[in-house]
Structure 1
């Protein structure tokens, strides 16, 4: 146990908390320390059951000088959902899902609700909204970061559905956030991540999307460049109901694998879906076609188990134009790294209809996100970092910004890419107001205005 926390302190904490408190050596502690990729060893884990639990946990952490990790689903690529020697506020019990107004499609979600649970709960109502990729991703982290999901081109980011939230701030206050209540805080939590407090519940407007056409279309490997360029050109004018992602798998020194295009058509009109998807099928030689009609919740996949010792190195950048030349550059640079997985997500559409100053996510002209993932262990990838950096340097002239959710190592350059200067300045001023001590710093961090000078 961390030396700053005595057994008597833990007993007092347990007496104040309605949830469960775990410390090293407790039954169940080991099940809560590690994430999908990252390993932690916190001094204290609190599985909170209320806003009051969150507030008491924050106060305890401040008193004892413990770093705070907020965990909703534990999918943080950068490992922010756990730590060593600090406190984890685990929101898993805050997993309620309630349709509060069916006529207005208003849904209240607890921050710990998993996306497969949300999809299953909304399916009887014929509702859905942009979610994470996997079943075990939770609501909290995705909604405060943005949420680039399978309905993004039709309905925007997940956070664009948000109309209200509850936030427990650094001083333990529980604040509503919305267009009328604390609108600056509401602006900040939509894209500013967990910098301003622990967001415990969200009210969203869901969309009438009971079923979708979804699946993978694979193309002959020797046609990858031609198909990708054609796909990029087509998505400029494709119906907004169609969201698509290109998955360029690494060779690992073997034969080039097929190019995989994942497609999702938001709706169950077969003729309209075929009209939207067929132009992609005609781009090259299709070797596999798994597209079929399904409930929206079925597009979510379980998180893949990683080989022992692997810790993928993840980075992304956004581009306002996915051109043929950019595709050519991506493929040429990927060829220099046999274990580099490249994913290109076509976005645009509804994303661009939100004013750039409406939320702390300001990259509204984005047409695509390019993600590069070095697969393997940190030790194995260390010699490859110069080539990995060369990959991003080659793309840099065409990039504009980054998404906070797919970054495994957050560097100053990444923070600059996530938050344009004017956005950062506004966030820093709000950080000074809501978290002047920067106790919520395990995130894509914004430093309180003035703190740089001490």
Structure 2
């Protein structure tokens, strides 16, 4: 590789293996990478130069925003680190966000202006990965996905050109970027339409006893609940002091009306074994989680399971999810309510197409030392039966780095349409370190 030629074209730092700073540069939030080269871009021009170089050299490109993606662990290729591109500008309700920004910074800046964008759960998650993959967040029932709040982007293409993309300019590419992942270029700026958000009512309910009546009541309650309310259900084993074992419901209500939030949750609060731990008014940035960074000395175990988007969370599938958790002591069960504004969007309006889903469900057992092949296969079979009840996989919640998950993420019609967009904007598949869509 002609690395010196790249150094001449980039104002930011180009770091190769064994050079000073290499170990720090290849360490990202979710792991340790082994790329062939890392560019810490100082500007959009640096990104464009790095992409042109990679295309000419035949080197695959991986883009790092918040660094939560498992794709950083795939060896080889050029990693473009957007960590310096973090500007946040507010113009009325239009918000322009640098491609390397994280949601904690965005939420904090918007909160000062009384605004918000639905942005996932975790402060350190990157704006780019979450949005390009769809972006299920705390306001999904009121405002839809993060991608639904997107009005335009600045994109560096595989040819190294910088283009402005919106519904009025390159509409098919704009369609693909909302759910099609990082297949089409490097987004160096995201433009969102924000919403008024003075505060939220946020809190946690603890649960005791059989999960099944709680899950059914939660489902029934959300069917008619105001769109201001979004909830999650989680049941986790004892892992560390910050994640105590047990089942909980976490609720987020847009606004500061605690009584309205309680009223919306009334049928669930009336159940035996449900107790309110905390339900009060908070600034939106305060509810975003702070996830610990990767610790090389304590790597997380593997995960046997997956996620699915449920159109109908009927009693049978809720029972199956509860049984999965019970039959696998070292396992996690997680559900989030959808519907509302999420479902208002037609399936073909964005690349994130399963808009009939009313719940997102994830379940998995930890692949601990001593787990046998037979035990692993039994868990995989149990999950496969549950996944078959859903209508697609949410790519942002999978750590798979093989191509098998892509077929589960998109319908055949969406896949064909994405492949045509890919052929136009990245025919050489320069951007392949992602849930990859091959050019048609």
Q: Is the TM value for this pair above 0.5?
A: yes
Q: In 1, distance between residues paired with 2:237 and 2:378? A: 14
Work out whether 1:35 is the aligned partner of 2:28. yes
| Partners of 1:107 and 1:204 within 8 A in 2 | yes
Q: In 1, distance between residues paired with 2:72 and 2:294? A: 18
Q: Hey, what does 1:114 align to over in structure 2?
A: 102
| Partners of 1:169 and 1:196 within 8 A in 2 | yes
| Partners of 2:30 and 2:293 within 8 A in 1 | no
| Partners of 1:212 and 1:265 within 8 A in 2 | yes
| Partners of 1:37 and 1:311 within 8 A in 2 | no
Q: Which runs of 5+ in 1 are unaligned?
A: 450-454
Q: Hey, what does 1:91 align to over in structure 2?
A: 82
Q: In 2, distance between residues paired with 1:114 and 1:312? A: 26
Q: Hey, what does 2:44 align to over in structure 1?
A: 51
Give the TM-score, by structure 2 length. 0.93
Q: Hey, what does 2:277 align to over in structure 1?
A: 289
Q: In 1, distance between residues paired with 2:27 and 2:372? A: 22
Q: In 2, distance between residues paired with 1:304 and 1:390? A: 31
Corresponding residue to 1:68 among 61, 64, 67: 61
Q: In 2, distance between residues paired with 1:45 and 1:225? A: 49
Distance verdict in 2 for CA 1:20–1:251, change over 3 Å: closer
Q: Hey, what does 2:231 align to over in structure 1?
A: 244
Q: What is the CA distance between 1:343 and its match in structure 2?
A: 0.5
Q: Hey, what does 1:452 align to over in structure 2?
A: none
Which stretch of structure 1 is more off in the superposition, 287-296 or 378-387?
378-387
Work out whether 1:128 is the aligned partner of 2:116. yes
Corresponding residue to 1:415 among 393, 406, 410: 406
Cα deviation digits, residues 262-282 of structure 1 (max 9, x gap): 110111122322212333222
Q: In 2, distance between residues paired with 1:444 and 1:379? A: 31
Q: What is the CA distance between 1:380 and its match in structure 2?
A: 4.9
Q: Hey, what does 1:323 align to over in structure 2?
A: 314
Task: Tell me how many residue pairs correspond in the alignment.
Answer: 433
Q: What is the CA distance between 1:418 and its match in structure 2?
A: 0.8
Distance verdict in 2 for CA 1:396–1:43, change over 3 Å: closer
| Partners of 2:269 and 2:275 within 8 A in 1 | no
* SS in structure 1 of the partner of residue 376 of structure 2: helix
Give the TM-score, by structure 1 length. 0.90
Corresponding residue to 2:170 among 171, 182, 202: 182
Corresponding residue to 2:214 among 220, 223, 227: 227
Q: In 2, distance between residues paired with 1:53 and 1:82? A: 23
Q: Hey, what does 1:309 align to over in structure 2?
A: 299
Distance verdict in 2 for CA 1:312–1:135, change over 3 Å: farther
Cα deviation digits, residues 71-90 of structure 1 (max 9, x gap): 111111xx213532321001
| Partners of 2:30 and 2:67 within 8 A in 1 | no
Which stretch of structure 1 is more off in the superposition, 407-416 or 80-89?
407-416
Distance verdict in 2 for CA 1:385–1:39, change over 3 Å: farther
Cα deviation digits, residues 81-134 of structure 1 (max 9, x gap): 35323210011111110002x1xx100011111111001101121100111211
Cα deviation digits, residues 335-367 of structure 1 (max 9, x gap): 232222110111111111111111111111010
